Amino acid sequence: MTRRRSSHSRPTVTLATVAEAVGVSRMTVSNAYNRPDQLSPELRERVFAVAEELGYSGPNPVARTLSRGETGSIGLVLDYPLTTAFSDGATVAFLHGVAAGAEARGLGLSLVPRIEGRHAALVQSALVDGFVLYCVPEDDPRMDAVRARGLPFVGVDFDPARDLARVNIDDRGAARAAARHLAALGHRRFGVVLPYATYGPTGADAEARATHHVERERLAGWREGLEAAGVDWSTVPVASSSGTGVETGRLAAAELLDRAARPTAVIALSDALAMGVVESARERGISVPHQLSVTGFDDIPEAALSDPPLTTIRQPHHLKGSEAVRLLLEGDAAQSVVLPTELVVRASTSPAP
């Protein structure tokens, strides 16, 4: 049975409908929304009044994008789901910096997360004028999708590349400083805690298998710092577990702390992992820092509030985000920015027992 359209259904109101009702051209109505300087205030208000009366809400944003060639928004491509991004202190601080940079320039922000099976499709369909890519591997299919769009893009925490503007910190130098700090305290038995459970059993294995710039550089920095103190990197045990947070660090640390010859110092890829190491030590009655020194990386707000306060590497997350937006809008494809870091020594490290 065919349903008959109700006689009370309102016809679709379009830009042309408004133009006819006002007695002006369609271009005039379009200018009222998109180029207000082209109309007198009186005419613009009359267009809006008629549009409201007719129930016209304005131009379709997709159509407006196609006609103007710009969206007024930038896309932030993340290497993990939004639920992970919003639960990670370092990423949240970075997001705040990107948002501040966009807001200062009157731009919107679209988040493009990692969703299994839709990685490239989300990039291809994003209504944006350019991309900021955060910790995305170079061989990721989303890189190809971004390049295919022909829009400007900036990488954050990326390997140097001639055709990629990027914002980095000196991850290797910062990691080397943390390792030297522990070595100077007399530590010679070390363990490393990483996320994701995809690494080998030793530092050398993990460095060979790492796929992200940040992980490769920090592992290399720890190696350089420890080898300078006479530590054999190929014998340093590495533990990891699925995920990236505190619980990941707690589970990974258990593997190190239950060893017969447990380490006297554990180096973690992030503060969240390091706080999990401290939890794992507490569960086993191991005193931090008197029996075990622990270092993190990032200096998220929780690091200074943990028990004990965490020795870590401070990096400028907010500035990293705002600089990425600046480079996207003002920079060129060969430009790069390297931001400073600082070793922050707190109560989670002390001389080796």
Give the per-residue pLDDT at 30. 76
Q: What is the pLDDT of residue 11?
A: 62
Give the predicted TM-score (pTM) of the model: 0.80
Per-residue pLDDT of the chain (353 residues; tens, 9 = 90+): 333 333 344 567 777 888 899 999 888 887 787 677 788 888 988 988 998 888 876 665 544 454 455 788 999 999 888 998 999 999 999 999 999 999 999 999 999 998 887 878 888 889 899 999 998 877 788 888 898 888 889 999 998 766 788 999 999 999 999 999 999 999 999 999 999 877 889 999 999 999 889 999 999 999 999 999 999 999 999 999 998 999 999 999 999 999 999 999 999 999 999 999 999 999 999 999 999 999 999 999 999 999 999 999 999 999 999 999 999 988 766 688 999 999 999 999 999 99
The pLDDT, as a whole number, for residue 80 is 85
The pLDDT, as a whole number, for residue 7 is 37
Which pLDDT does position 333 carry in this prediction?
A: 61
CA pair distance 104, 106, nearest whole angstrom: 6
Q: Residue 293's pLDDT is what?
A: 98
pLDDT for position 187: 98
**Per-residue confidence (pLDDT) for residue 344, from 0 to 100:** 98
Question: Vertex 67, ends 65 and 23: CA angle to 5°?
Answer: 115
